[in-house]
Amino acid sequence: MNIPNLAPIPELYVSYESAQKMKLEAADLISWDLSPRQVCDLELLMNGGFFPLKGFQSEADYNGVVEDMRTADGQLWPIPITLDVSEEFADGVELGQDIALRDQEGVILATMTVTDRWTPDKAREAEKVFGADDQAHPAVYYLHNQAGNVYLGGPVTGIQQPVHYDFRARRDTPNELRAYFRKLGWRKVVAFQTRNPLHRAHQELTFRAAREAQANLLIHPIVGMTKPGDVDHFTRVRCYEAVLDKYPQATTTMSLLNLAMRMAGPREAVWHGLIRKNHGCTHLIVGRDHAGPGKNSAGEDFYGPYDAQDLFRTHQDEIGIEMVDFKHMVYVQERAQYEPNDEIEDRENVTILNISGTELRRRLREGLEIPEWFSFPEVVKELRRTSPPRSQQGFTVFFTGLSGSGKSTIANALMVKLMEMGGRPVTLLDGDVVRKHLSSELGFSKEHRDINIKRIGYVASEITKNGGIAICAPIAPYTATRRAVREMIEQYGAFIEVHVATSVEECERRDRKGLYKLARAGKIKEFTGISDPYEEPQNPELRVETENVEVDNCAHQVILTLESMGLITGN
């Protein structure tokens, strides 16, 4: 194993004086507003975290990376780092032109000389990089639904670091960490990558890794982007801080890494190795199912539990960092300690305990006990602060169905029932009401419907975040848009999709507002169910039939669903 050369790593920043000058000049350039993920990528490009990359990848680099994890000049690099933009923006850019890259507040962080512009084959990228073109994978979903259709590539010139207002003292560039290790004389450093709060099993694992490698320990959590649904980084960092004093101070430090994870399992592990190498580490802990995205749409794991370790091992020498591989750690009650599951020889004579992530979330949701052998009281206290039991969290009930299907009527009945129960404020975002107050300028094209639904989703997510109940009742005819809204809301609380499954024939028979008649006569264009599509939900939390069923009963079915999910309790 190489003892690292802790000399500074090349950054892409210009000097302070040049940056001031460039900032003025760059104001005249065409500029691209970076997405949150692109800001993360740019930060690591500029500060050397993605060394040897010098900018967003060119088409040749991208093709090499996608096909066999190598840039055009043969460097190992497993994940495409591309600047995805809209077709409209790409059309306005000439090759050879400089563009300004701005953060979401409009601050110019860098310029890029555009050398390449191409339309990627996203299905191929998904297959090769993530193993399957399956949108159950969060990065594949992102690729198809959030990433722009055109990629731009070219070298980047860094003007300033993205600004962070949170945990500033805990964030370090690769060079800051290198300098710190140099100063303390830390020649061997084992990095622990994590996107979860630290529990006792993690502590044991990190202790063992440091012992095994005879190294110091860097707890290196991700605070950029992780898997949708993860514990937010604010809570996690408070949890880390709460347990730091349980580590030996002389040999352990913690630093936050603003990486946007892709959950690419094996390829991601190799990527994490390269990034840690750039941060001056000599070892990386790779555990079971490293950076795993969970189940695919057929309900199977995307990657085998040790695929990441296998791929890492193959490339270890080239990465220049050693893997400390770990098997699954479990608690052995009789010995009151954690041990690697596959090293327990007397399994029939001992009690092996384990709480999975899913089980932990269930216990938090339901306000159940979390035992001391599993976690630290300080961590549990923090988690309970941000994840109160479900019966105290906000949630959204999202009705979808054709015009005249009965959405509004059931939604109204549900609102009254929930208000009778009390406890949380209830807001009804009815289709017609929203169109009057929030979306009065919009029509019924796909584009306008999507904007309308995303506005509803945004308001509902804010209500949910703040502990209220949002009831939405738009038509929301498109699956992808409903899914986008679900994602927005599930960051903060439950999303209950209710399909009001009244057939178009029945809606037309009822024709309460006389709209179907007008649609048939061609007087209303793009009318859902008649001259415009309605994509039925495949897996809604509840489907209600309204033919021959009372409104009260339909609303009651929703109440029963909410109860079964623990969102409302009997008392």
Give the interface with ligand PPS as residue ranges (CB under 6 A).
Answer: 403-404, 408, 431-432, 435, 444, 449, 452-453, 474-477, 513, 515, 524, 526-528, 532
Tokens 């079971």 belong to 288
405 is in an annotated binding site: yes
251 annotated active-site: no
Handedness of CA 112, 116, 119, 121 (dihedral sign): negative
Instruction: Give yes or no for a contact between 156 and 12, defined as CB atoms under 8 angstroms apart.
Output: yes
Look at residues 230, 274, 238 and name the one whose alpha carbon lies nearest to residue 50: 274
Q: Minimum CB separation from ligand PPS for residue 68, in Å?
A: 45
| Run of H or E residues at 426 | strand 426-430
Instruction: Give yes or no for a contact between 424 and 467, defined as CB atoms under 8 angstroms apart.
Output: yes
158 is in an annotated binding site: no
Q: Minimum CB separation from ligand PPS for residue 520, in Å?
A: 12
Q: Which residue is nearest to ligand PPS (CB)?
A: 431
195 annotated active-site: yes
404 is in an annotated binding site: yes
Give the whole-angstrom CA distance, residue 267 versus residue 303.
11
Give the whole-angstrom CA distance, residue 440 versus residue 275.
48
Q: Minimum CB separation from ligand PPS for residue 476, in Å?
A: 5
- Decide whether 262 or 449 has the Cβ nearer to ligand PPS: 449
- Decide whether 361 or 435 has the Cβ nearer to ligand PPS: 435
- Decide whether 419 or 433 has the Cβ nearer to ligand PPS: 433
Instruction: Say if strands 469-473 and 426-430 run parallel, antiparallel, or are unpaired.
Output: parallel
- Decide whether 310 or 545 has the Cβ nearer to ligand PPS: 545
401 is in an annotated binding site: yes
Instruction: Say if strands 337-340 and 329-332 run parallel, antiparallel, or are unpaired.
Output: antiparallel
194 annotated active-site: yes
Active-site residue, selected from the candidate residues 71, 194, 528, 546:
194
- Decide whether 99 or 453 has the Cβ nearer to ligand PPS: 453
Active-site residue, selected from the candidate residues 37, 117, 195, 236:
195
Look at residues 209, 191, 195 and name the one whose alpha carbon lies nearest to residue 277: 191
Token pair in block for residue 555: 């609303």
18 is in an annotated binding site: no
Per-residue CA distances from 283 to 19, 175, 192 (Å)? 35, 17, 9
284 is in an annotated binding site: no
Give the whole-angstrom CA distance, residue 506 versus residue 118.
48
58 is in an annotated binding site: no
Per DSSP, what are the bridge partners of residue 339?
Answer: 330
Instruction: Give yes or no for a contact between 279 and 49, defined as CB atoms under 8 angstroms apart.
Output: yes
Which sequence positions are flagged as catalytic?
Answer: 194-196
Q: Residues forming the annotated binding site for ATP?
A: 401-408
Binding residues: 401-408
